[in-house]
């Protein structure tokens, strides 16, 4: 495919009427510009400029191509200029909200890399498992799992979190392994009292989502503690994969009912809607999205 330099050489040659003038304007050698135009013609298989000893004459095909390329090259120049302006604006205090457990693994590394990319930026991480008010707490952007809160906020979905049913090998050795969602009511389960599910787990069954009632002797309002109870063999647990992935990989937990997993939980970036999307907010959202795309979550 022709290069940007070849397109530029052709457009300047047509606009300025000679290879010499084009080379002078582009600060390139005459041989370089002439070779670029000839290579473009060879690749396209069509004559763009008729060369005589006295002057150059652009063919009808060459004129059409010149007009289209002139617009495209202008768009590219504008895009470069916009990117440079955006980079210069990446400075000042940037406040990022996220949940306490999710942030250290995914948001903090992204924030550190982002600050190193834009050294004039100061980052204030505001970690809270409660649904903080973005405007009231003066957050530039918040990374939220599940509920987005106020409908007036602007948002962009950046990932989905897979949820899994797990248990410790010791528990399964004592109580057996559930084969279908209907087996769960007969088992001990560790109940998370935070979040919408509680003692009713939304599992897929025959193409539908079924609310499966579960019970247990351990209830907990903290996700880390609930996962610890499952590791200790207190019962079967329902957890986001990212929280228990290492325990599964290391054999401390076993994956159960993989064909009946609940729907994934969306991860979204939210920011105040009364303003446009500042460059630093947009770039940070892209950075978090890119990081999450490479994770097993």
pLDDT of 112 = 96
Q: How far, in Å, CA of 220 to CA of 94, rounded?
A: 34
pLDDT at residue 162 tops 90: yes
What's the token pair of residue 89? Answer: 């604006």
Can you identify the CATH homologous superfamily of domain 90-160+266-293?
Periplasmic binding protein-like II (3.40.190.10)
Q: Which of 91, 110, 93 is nearest to 102 (CA)?
A: 110
Domain 163-260 grouped into CATH 3.40.190.10:
yes
Predicted TM-score (pTM) of the model is 0.66
Longest pairwise C-alpha distance within the chain: 96
Structure confidence by residue, pLDDT tens digits, 32-54: 888 888 888 888 888 888 877 66
Q: Which of 111, 116, 114, 145 is nearest to 126 (CA)?
A: 111
State the span(s) of the chain assigned CATH 1.10.10.10: 4-88
pLDDT at residue 67 tops 90: no
Strands (E), the chain: 49-51, 56-58, 92-98, 121-127, 141-145, 154-161, 163-167, 188-192, 200-205, 208-213, 215-220, 237-240, 254-256, 265-271
State the span(s) of the chain assigned CATH 3.40.190.10: 90-160+266-293, 163-260
pLDDT of 235 = 96
């Amino acid at each position: 495919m022709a290069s940007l330099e070849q397109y530029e050489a052709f457009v300047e040659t047509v606009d300025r009427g000679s290879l010499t003038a084009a080379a002078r304007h582009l600060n390139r050698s005459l041989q370089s510009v002439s070779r670029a135009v000839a290579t473009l013609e060879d690749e396209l298989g069509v004559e763009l400029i008729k060369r005589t000893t006295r002057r150059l004459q652009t063919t009808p095909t060459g004129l059409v191509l010149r007009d289209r390329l002139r617009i495209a090259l202008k768009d590219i120049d504008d895009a470069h200029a916009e990117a440079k302006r955006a980079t210069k604006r990446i400075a000042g205090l940037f406040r990022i909200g996220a949940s306490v457990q999710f942030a250290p693994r995914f948001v903090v590394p992204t924030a550190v890399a982002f600050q190193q990319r834009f050294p004039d930026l100061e980052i204030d991480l505001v970690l809270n498992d409660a649904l903080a008010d973005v405007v009231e707490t003066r957050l530039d952007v918040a990374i939220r799992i599940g509920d987005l809160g106020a409908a007036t906020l602007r948002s962009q979905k950046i990932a989905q979190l897979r949820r899994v049913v797990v248990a410790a090998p010791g528990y399964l050795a004592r109580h057996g392994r559930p084969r279908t969602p209907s087996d769960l009511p007969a088992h001990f389960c560790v109940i998370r009292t935070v979040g919408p599910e509680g003692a009713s787990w939304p599992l897929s069954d025959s193409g539908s989502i079924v609310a499966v009632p579960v019970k247990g002797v351990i209830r907990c309002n903290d996700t880390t503690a609930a996962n610890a109870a499952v590791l200790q063999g207190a019962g079967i647990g329902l957890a986001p994969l990212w929280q228990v992935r290492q325990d599964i990989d290391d054999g401390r937990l076993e994956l159960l009912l993989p064909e009946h997993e609940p729907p994934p939980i969306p991860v979204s970036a939210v920011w105040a809607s009364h303003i446009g999307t500042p460059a630093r907010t947009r770039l940070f959202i892209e950075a978090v999205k890119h990081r999450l795309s490479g994770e097993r979550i």
